[in-house]
Amino acid sequence: MSIASLLDRAATGGRLTFEEGVRIYKEAPLHELGAAANHRRFSLYPTNDVTYVIDTTINYTNVCNVHCTFCAFFRPEKHGEGYTMSHDEVLSRVKFAADQGATQIMIQGGVNPELRIEWFEKLFQRVRAEYPHVDIHSLSVSEINGLATVEGMTPREVLIRLKAAGLKSLPGAGAEVLVERVRKRISARKIKPDAWLDIMRQAQLLDMPTTRQ
């Protein structure tokens, strides 16, 4: 099938196979690809209005038991430079962001095994109660997986509880794990590809938007 035919299908909402998507990525002329994307965008949202999110990231802890080789941020458990913010400290950051017009916050940090699910539930409940206009787009798949391990729960059960507490959507951090060869080399302790994808699927099945979408 020609590139033009593939672009026409995509522009009208048709599904592409993985192979067809890769082919378009590699072979489609940039302007024609952009035109197809713009056509699809207008079919879904037929106005000239364009929206965006004002976001801030709050690194609530740097303690992490995953120890990725590329990360200069984390500190291992019991390290003298490790920290975990109190809820009040996190809320002060949320207030600062909200005062600047933020519409979304990303609370992310390390996979800290000392933090239980109740810690996050109470935090999200406070954020939702005090800043109801700010969406909680927070925690990486690795953090969800780490919580499930600590609590002896399934990731789905963790997501259900955190969603009830106020978590609205799930970021897509950790894409380096999707190639097993890369994961083993730079983040061998991190969640495996199939598990990463399954947590994203579980979030979507719970009607939580994810960056992967």
Full-model pTM: 0.81
Cα–Cα dist 48/58, whole Å: 33
Q: Given CATH 3.20.20.70, say whether it is the number of domain 55-205.
A: yes
Q: Where do the domains of the chain lie?
A: 3-44, 55-205
Task: With a cut of 60, say whether residue 169 has pLDDT above it.
Answer: yes
Backbone angles phi, psi at 56, to 5 degrees: -140, 150
Cα–Cα dist 104/32, whole Å: 33
Helices (H), the chain: 3-11, 18-27, 30-44, 87-99, 117-130, 141-151, 155-165, 180-186, 193-205
pLDDT score for 166: 97
Cα–Cα dist 62/68, whole Å: 12
Q: How confident is the model at residue 175 (pLDDT cuts 50, 70, 90)?
A: confident
Tokens of 16: 């592409």
Of the spans 43-52, 156-165, 188-197, which averages the highest pLDDT? Answer: 156-165
